[in-house]
């Protein structure tokens, strides 16, 4: 019994040692995986943080790219706007140049028309002066004709008075001659002269 008890005790002690050894080994093995797991977890966290940082950086770069793209589009739109404004300014310059040419041509046309009007005025003035001289000449001619007519009438009147006086003197001083005609000192028939004077007066009337 004693031997069996000793053997049992020894067996139990051995089992306890084995158990203790196993437990110790298990604890050691558990501690080592726990450290590995913790290391892996730490590395995983680092990788996750790195990935998150890279993701943030990627998002930042994407945002920067979008911003640069938007700025590029804005610059392109500004360039197009400036190009359109330049074309508009160029077209405006062309229009102003064409308008200036039109104004210049109009001014030249007006100057030519003014010169033509000036020449026409000079011609009209010359024609008016010529007409005035013609009118003055005609007026002078009429005055001369009127004066000549008055002189002729005066001479005719005097000649008529002379003929009548001679006729009366002849009727009184030469009773021996007969007939209605006699010779004047110039050999003019008094009756014929009186007849012509009467005809001239009728024509004048």
Please write the tens of the pLDDT for every residue from 165-181. Answer: 887 877 776 644 544 44
Look at residue 102 in the predicted model and tell me its pLDDT.
95
Q: What is the pTM of this model?
A: 0.38
* pLDDT, averaged across the chain: 80
The structure tokens listed for 6 are 């000793």
Provide the sign of the torsion angle of the four alpha carbons 164, 170, 173, 177, taken in this order.
negative
The structure tokens listed for 19 are 């158990």
Displacement of CA 25 from its chain's centroid (Å):
107
Q: Read off φ and ψ for residue 74, nearest 5 degrees.
A: -65, -45
Distance CA 72, CA 64 (A): 12
Write the CA distances from 172 to 22, 40, 93, 95, integer angstroms. Answer: 215, 190, 114, 111
Distance CA 38, CA 45 (A): 10
Look at residue 184 in the predicted model and tell me its pLDDT.
47
Give the confidence band of 9 by pLDDT, cuts at 50, 70, 90: low
Helix (H, G, I), strand (E, B) or coil at 197: helix
Look at residue 179 in the predicted model and tell me its pLDDT.
44
Distance CA 187, CA 191 (A): 12
Distance CA 197, CA 107 (A): 73
Lowest-pLDDT choice from 34-38, 79-83, 183-187: 183-187
Which contacts of 138-141 are long-range, i.e. CB under 8 A and separated by 24 or more positions?
none
Of the two residues 183 and 22, the one the predictor is more confident about is 22
Are the CB atoms for 65 and 73 separated by under 8 Å? no
């Amino acid at each position: 019994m004693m031997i069996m008890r000793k053997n049992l005790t020894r067996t139990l002690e051995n089992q306890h040692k084995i158990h203790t050894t196993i437990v110790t080994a298990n604890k050691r093995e558990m501690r080592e995986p726990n450290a590995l797991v913790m290391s892996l977890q730490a590395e995983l966290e680092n990788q996750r943080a790195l990935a998150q940082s890279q993701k943030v950086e990627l998002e930042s770069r994407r945002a920067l790219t979008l911003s640069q793209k938007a700025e590029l589009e804005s610059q392109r739109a500004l360039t197009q706007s400036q190009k359109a404004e330049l074309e508009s300014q160029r077209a405006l310059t062309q229009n102003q140049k064409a308008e200036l040419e039109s104004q210049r041509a109009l001014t030249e046309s007006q100057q030519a028309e003014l010169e033509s009007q000036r020449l026409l005025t000079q011609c009209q003035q010359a024609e008016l002066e010529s007409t005035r001289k013609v009118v003055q000449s005609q007026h002078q001619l009429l005055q001369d004709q009127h004066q000549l007519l008055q002189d002729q009438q005066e001479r005719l009147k005097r000649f008529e008075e002379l003929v009548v006086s001679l006729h009366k003197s002849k009727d009184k001083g030469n009773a021996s001659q007969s007939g209605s005609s006699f010779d004047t000192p110039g050999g003019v028939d008094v009756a014929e002269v009186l007849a012509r004077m009467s005809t001239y007066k009728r024509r004048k009337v």
